[in-house]
């Protein structure tokens, strides 16, 4: 009887050991339940690639964080630009509003670089974005953050007139209508960024408003360093649009854009 009890006890210890091994995680293993943060569904097409993260190699380096600051001290308007959108389009309006919350009153010190993606962040439902028309595979489809590119394009047009240095800019693949063709700046979280450097010689602040279908960007400076005789011209050569900025009679920036016709109407 004693031998039987001993055998049963040994068997129990062996089973317990194997059970403990199965339950015990390997060293360095994260046992925390990971929650999916993606806001996409199977019925919504999005330009975001959920299998990758924001690759800085596509958009230069990670720049020091910029901060928003209200109040006085930026009383000199260096440039202003306005575009228009359909205020009745609630989702597009929501996306424009969500992005300018991160941009309005953003201070960019002299010599510092602004990155649209780093400032605005990933476009998700949790961040306040909704589905609206985006460009994908040669057509306009529903995707998260549709309308954000109008914000980046409005800033691009504004900083051109402030004679700031463009670091990174890319056109849409399809024709758009809220700025002249050749004057847009598309953005996509993990592939395409819009960046500029504050070369004005003074700290500047972005002032952005979106109300009743009117989107306005202003570059305000601590000092009055508004450039004189700035001219922006866009010429079409064949299928290519060539944007040129001339300051004081000298060309200091040129960019090229080519667009395809959309498969569907915008």
Q: Where are the domains of the chain?
A: 44-226
**Close Cβ partners of 134 (under 8 Å, ≥ 6 residues apart):** 45, 46, 47, 140, 141, 142, 143, 144, 145, 146, 149
Q: Do you know the residue count of the chain?
A: 266
Average pLDDT, the chain: 80
Q: Pull the structure tokens for residue 235.
A: 């010429």
Contact 157, 189 (CB under 8 A): no
Per-residue pLDDT, 11: 45
DSSP 8-state class, residue 62: P
Q: Pull the structure tokens for residue 188.
A: 């996509």
| pLDDT tens, residue by residue, 104-140 | 999 999 999 999 999 999 998 888 888 766 666 566 6
Whole-model pTM?
Answer: 0.75
Per-residue pLDDT, 20: 38
Contact 187, 117 (CB under 8 A): yes
Per-residue pLDDT, 261: 81
Closest CA to 203 of 55, 79, 74, 91: 74
Weakly modelled stretches of the chain, pLDDT under 70: 1-61, 132-144, 262-266
User: Measured between alpha carbons, how far is 187 from 151 in angstroms, rounded to an integer?
Assistant: 10
- Give me the helices (H) in the chain, please: 2-23, 90-103, 116-120, 148-161
User: Measured between alpha carbons, how far is 108 from 219 in angstroms, rounded to an integer?
Assistant: 10
Beta bridge partners of residue 214, listed in sequence order: 84, 211
Q: Pull the structure tokens for residue 46.
A: 């999005």
Per-residue pLDDT, 67: 93
Q: Give the helix/strand (H/E) hosting 1.
A: none
């Amino acid at each position: 009887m004693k031998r039987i009890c001993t055998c049963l006890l040994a068997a129990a210890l062996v089973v317990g050991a194997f059970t403990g091994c199965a339950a015990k995680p390997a060293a360095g293993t994260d046992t925390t339940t990971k929650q999916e943060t993606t806001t996409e569904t199977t019925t919504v097409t999005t330009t975001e690639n959920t299998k990758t993260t924001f690759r800085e190699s596509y958009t230069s380096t990670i720049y020091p964080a910029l901060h928003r600051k209200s109040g006085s001290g930026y009383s000199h308007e260096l440039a202003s630009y306005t575009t228009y959108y359909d205020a009745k389009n609630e989702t597009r309006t929501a996306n424009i509003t969500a992005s300018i919350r991160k941009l309005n009153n953003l201070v960019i010190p002299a010599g510092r670089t602004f990155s649209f993606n780093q400032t605005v962040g990933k476009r998700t439902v949790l961040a306040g974005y909704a589905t609206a028309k985006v460009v994908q595979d040669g057509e306009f489809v529903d995707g998260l953050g549709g309308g954000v590119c109008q914000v980046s394009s409005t800033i691009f047009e504004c900083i051109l007139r402030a004679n700031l240095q463009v670091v990174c800019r890319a056109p849409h693949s399809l024709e758009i209508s809220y700025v002249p063709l050749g004057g847009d700046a598309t953005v996509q979280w993990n592939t395409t960024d819009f960046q500029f450097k504050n070369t004005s010689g003074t700290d500047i602040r972005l002032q952005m408003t979106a109300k009743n279908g009117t989107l306005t960007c202003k570059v305000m400076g601590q000092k009055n360093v508004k450039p004189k005789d700035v001219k922006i011209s866009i010429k079409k050569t064949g299928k290519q649009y060539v944007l040129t900025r001339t300051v004081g009679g000298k060309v200091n920036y040129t960019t090229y854009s080519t667009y395809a016709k959309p498969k569907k109407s915008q």
